[in-house]
Structure 1
Amino acid sequence: MPITQRTVLRHELIGLETRVIRSQNPSITGIKGRIIDETQNTLVLLVGHEKKVVPKGVVTLQLSFPDGSLVEIDGTEVIGRSEDRLRKRTRRW
């Protein structure tokens, strides 16, 4: 199943380009890079040649998909391991 705006929460985020658009910590607002690792509470972004650790619970992210579309997600929606998010049922309206 391809990653789309509707299915992003049920997929692994590794490999997607992202930008921190809001954060409770002003020093990480504006960080832009590729997600290279994901833990239960953090994302590791490759920014240039540096790795930056971003806590999921305090940020709003803008994810960029391979087709060029963008989606904004609250970091609290992706707290947890990616394999656990797959098992979690999402509400469909």
Structure 2
Amino acid sequence: MANYNNQTIVIHELSGLDVKVIASRDKNQRGIKGRVLKETKNTLVLDTRNGERQIVKKTSTFKFFYGKKSFTVNGEEINFRPYERTEKAIKFYKRRKL
């Protein structure tokens, strides 16, 4: 099981986590809540009450929920292919406060 904290959230698997879009250039995506179904390099696909929604990572800010914990993540910090994120997001990992 992954140990999610404010640093590791940018390098761990996001699929299955609950998430809320707290900011976005696309005003229609602000406030969307759901569970991450899948992830591409540039988007998160969320399962919402109104069906699947595709959210652009780079232009959004997310709040991820893991148990009783929540973590705010700028989309640029996770704008990588999931299998590349561990290597490429390490610079963001180092900048984030624990």
- Normalising to structure 1: TM-score of the pair? 0.90
| Residue 47 of structure 1: how far off its partner (Å) | 0.1
Distance 2:53 2:47 in 1: 6
Distance 2:35 2:18 in 1: 4
Distance 1:9 1:23 in 2: 18
Distance 1:49 1:24 in 2: 21
- Aligned pair 1:81/2:81, yes or no? yes
- Other-structure match for 1:70: 70
Q: What is the DSSP-based 3-state SS (H/G/I as helix, E as strand, rest coil) of the residue aligned with 1:44?
A: strand
| Residue 5 of structure 1: how far off its partner (Å) | 1.8
Distance 1:86 1:52 in 2: 25
Q: What is the DSSP-based 3-state SS (H/G/I as helix, E as strand, rest coil) of the residue aligned with 2:76?
A: helix
Q: What is the DSSP-based 3-state SS (H/G/I as helix, E as strand, rest coil) of the residue aligned with 2:58?
A: helix
Distance 2:32 2:56 in 1: 12
- Other-structure match for 2:57: 56
Distance 1:75 1:58 in 2: 6
Residue pairs, 1:3-82, within 5 angstroms:
3-48=4-49, 50-66=51-67, 68-82=68-82
Cα-to-partner distance string for 1:61-81 (whole Å, 9 max, x where unaligned): 011112x11111100110011
Distance 2:48 2:34 in 1: 5
Q: What is the DSSP-based 3-state SS (H/G/I as helix, E as strand, rest coil) of the residue aligned with 1:87?
A: helix
Distance 1:62 1:29 in 2: 11
Unaligned runs of 5+ in 1: none
